[in-house]
Chain A
Amino acid sequence: MSELLNELKRSADEQPADPLAASIDLLLRRLSPWRARCLRLCAIPHTADLAVLGALIPEARAEDTEADLRALMSLSIIEVIAKSPGGSRPQIARDSSAIATVICVHDAARRYLFDQWLKAEKEEDKQDFAHASARLVDHFGMLASRADSNTAENLQIQRIFHLIGANQSKGLIELEGVVGKLRSQFRIGDCELLLKLAHEYDVALDNSHLARLAYTEAGVAMDRGQWDRAEHLISVEMFGKFDLSPDLRTRGQIALGLIHSEGRRWQKAINHYTQALSLVEDLEDPDEKQRLLCETKRRLAVAYRDSGHLEEANVMLHESLDLAHSANDPRAVALGSNSLGNLYRKLGETQKAIDSYNKSLECLAAIEDRFGPAQVYNNIGLAYLDGRLWSESVYYFQRSLEIKRAAGDTAGQARTLNNLLQVYGNLRNNEEVIRTANDASTLFTEINDLYGAAVVKRNLARLLRKFRHKDEARRYYREALEQFEQIETERQEDDYRMAGLVGTTPGRRRDRAFKVSREAVAISEELDALDRKLWLPWWIWLTLILLGGFMLWDFGPFERFILHILHR
């Protein structure tokens, strides 16, 4: 006891910066070597039971493992999470999946001990950790193979966590694969959990792995609409590391292109995609090279198209499609054909647009994509709307709606209904216009997309104004305006409240705020103009005023023009 007290006094004299760490170090020194080792090993998994302890220390006898578990449970640093009902003796069998007592090392202590493993300098400790991790990989893999599908998923997550510990490269590659699958299922929360777990290894990951993790995380951030964060992850976390593989450099540039496209910063997007194209040439794997080339050209084409460089877009899209065809990649052909259809619509070539969309549908059918056709049908509907072929337009919008309903995609349905509104408006079908608008507005409101709901009401108001139903138009204009004002008020309240609590960044919200207030201004003007006999948009009035002003300032050219006209 006096030895322990002397140790405490020595600790006190050292004035440790981290009291918790100092106490854990002292605990490890004073426990028997075996128990200290058990404690350190228990900090590798997030929870442990007899079976896990058996996997961690396979050389121990079963009854000793039980005694070790009980000894650990007496420590304050250990939390007991679960216990078998009735306090029965825990099962000892090593391969038993029955949970008797489940413990975990207190979070703060676990982080400290886990980091010690990761920072170990002695080869013996590094080997110990790698072997323990490998055994846990086998253990959780075995449990996962016997479990039902939902439990198996959680066990697989634990398996991947330990695989990173056993073999960084393998573990991270597998993690990327799982994250990709989860993203396709819209399970963003699960992706974030996996990434959080991976980051526990940060102190031990080399730069190339950290960069890869940052890239994966950026993808998830984009799914969340956290564009600023995604940009930071790519520009700073990823490109800030050394030793980026050519593949990762290329993907990083593509991701930055995507981020800037989303923000409608076309020139920046084009620059990044162009850089990506030059980097693709350095890739060794020919299939990967072709795939990335195809994807980059398509994305670049879309950026050109949406920024008004239609010729460049046309060239780039055809190159992308050629690559997709030669790679025999129906998904890439489907995506490219759909984008080409959108380009042809912009060029006013309706039939070519429809042909491209139909090509896209063929490819989606070939890969049995159930939900992808919904957007393509919507686009065909828009093409027929452009071509003033109303009944064909209605038909395709309805087909799009059917798929979106089956998919449970409420926002998608609302957007298609908003498009249908235009068709019914052109058909002068007042009843359908109002019913469709109400349906769209209801759906947008149901999913709390007040902006979408307000836009629908505004569109309805415009159509009613066109029909000369002024009172009804006025009503919907007012509803739309109220809704835009409500959005602005709620946004301000939330921004103010959230700033300190969750560290939100205002960047994208400023863009959205600007869009909302611009809409509100436009609606106010249209509402005011309802009763005027001669209504023109504000920019026409401004042009006329400027022209008048110019004429007053320098009448000469205008006078000569008038005289010329009179003398003809």
Chain B
Amino acid sequence: MISEDVLRLREFVDRDPEVDAFGKILSDDRKLILVISGGRGIGKTSLLARLMHECGQRRARSVGVARSGVEVYDYLAIMRKIREGVGEEKFSAFTDLVNYLTVPDYEPKLVVVSRGSITVAEGLQVSNAQVGDIAGVKIEIKDLNYVAPRNDQRVPEPERIHRLTKQFLSDLATALRQAPLIVFVDDVEEMVGETRKWLWSNLIKSAQNGHLSNIKFVLTVRDQPPTDEFDRLLQMIASKRELQPLDNAHVVEYLERRGVPSSDREDLAKHLMKAFKGHPQAIANFVDLWLQE
């Protein structure tokens, strides 16, 4: 059985302009974000798989963030995913803080709580060092199934978000000094509540302000923000691409990759274009039937 991503890559066609746009933002220091928009089934997730593969080819570190089943797709899910992708050992202080906020009676090892103030212990924030290794303190991740805040505290959610974000960004900034990172974020509209705002106001803004360097973002959205609202500042740091349906030539190529006999391809492509207007998912569904029969 081949993996989902390998399958997507094998059947991937077209999208050269988007791959080029991605290459450009990697090489342009002014550009931080590539926003890819398109309706359902147009191929945004497949394109992300393609671009992550491109990162692999370029030996660039990347991490993918996407909604998973019936899980909360929120700020903490995003931070945990990035932590997992970058390396858990680089986020010891963040993990310590998450543990402190979720596990009753947890005694923090790196985080200091004093007169209400919560900070990372002095002397542990050293550039190019892994915080968890300083003084040989290993932090066990207890938050993998984080659901509820600890029941012996009443920390309001805005405060939890703020503290966790601040520590996460600090740890991430240190980690990024060692190697650049590209973060792929799928289905931004599926994020709950204020997570979209969090993504822009914290993660992306930190990159824009220079607090995080060596980082780029690729986001997929269903609807592109209208041009006049995509303000001047964002236009400077972001590129936008709207995915279009496939054209006839690419449908033929897709049929070839799916193993449709060459004698059938042109005729089939013509009918598929007429029926499904180049919609990738619709075409894929039909080809499944064609190959089965």
Contacts and interface: CB of A to CB of B under 8 A. Distances in A.
A47 B229 CA distance: 37
Given A23-B286, A413-B116, A443-B117, A500 B229 contact: yes
A384 to B, nearest CB: 22
B80 interface: no
A190 B286 CA distance: 38
Interface string B22-41: 00000000000000000011
Contact of A47 (B70, B151, B155, B192): B70
B147 A23 contact: no
A367 B287 CA distance: 65
Interface stretch (B57-65, B86-94, B124-132, B276-284): B276-284
Contacts of B153: 406-408
Interface stretch (A72-80, A277-285, A462-470, A556-564): A72-80
Interface string A1-44: 10011001101100010011011101100110000000000000
B155 A16 contact: no
A203 B181 CA distance: 42
B154 A407 contact: yes
B69 A187 contact: no
A204 interface: no
Nearest to A3: B293
A502 B196 contact: yes
B159 A411 contact: yes
Interface stretch (B13-21, B170-178, B210-218, B230-238): B230-238
Interface stretch (A148-156, A233-241, A290-298, A453-461): A148-156
Contacts of A23: 276, 279, 281-283, 285-286
A206 interface: no
Contacts of B283: 23
A192 interface: yes
Interface string B185-229: 001000011111100110000000000000000000000011011
Given A20-B282, A186-B149, A187-B148, A104 B117 contact: no
A19 B162 contact: no
Contacts of B158: 447
A347 interface: no
A163 to B, nearest CB: 14
A76 B145 contact: no
Given A447-B159, A497-B233, A500-B226, A22 B148 contact: no
A157 interface: yes
A151 B148 CA distance: 11
A29 to B, nearest CB: 9
Interface string A543-557: 000000000000000
A12 B271 contact: yes
A147 to B, nearest CB: 10
Contacts of A224: 193-194
B233 A496 contact: yes
Interface residues of A, number: 83
A107 interface: yes
A439 B76 CA distance: 29
Instruction: Say what secondary structure dominates the interface of chain A.
Output: helix
B159 A410 contact: yes
A87 B154 CA distance: 45
A538 B118 CA distance: 41
A447 B164 CA distance: 10
Interface string A395-418: 000000100111111110110000
Nearest to B76: A189
Interface string B86-128: 0000000000000001000000000000011111000000000
Contacts of B152: 406
Contact of B279 (A20, A158, A189, A193): A20
Q: Which of B72, B75, B166, B234 has the most CB atoms of chain A within a 10 A radius of its CB?
A: B72
A327 interface: no
A447 B154 contact: no
A469 to B, nearest CB: 25
B74 A154 contact: no
Contact of A26 (B116, B277, B285): B285
Given A20-B41, A187-B149, A498 B279 contact: no
Given A9-B271, A193-B72, A407-B155, A77 B285 contact: yes
Interface of A: 1, 4-5, 8-9, 11-12, 16, 19-20, 22-24, 26-27, 30-31, 46-47, 74-77, 79-81, 83, 87, 102, 104, 106-109, 111, 148-151, 153-154, 157-158, 161, 185-190, 192-193, 196-197, 224, 371, 401, 404-411, 413-414, 439, 442-443, 446-448, 493-494, 496-502, 504
Which 3 pairs show the lowest CB-CB distances between chains A and B? A500-B229, A108-B40, A23-B282
Given A154-B70, A446-B118, 13 more contacts: A8-B268, A16-B275, A76-B288, A108-B281, A186-B157, A224-B193, A407-B153, A411-B159, A414-B116, A439-B116, A497-B231, A500-B225, A501-B196
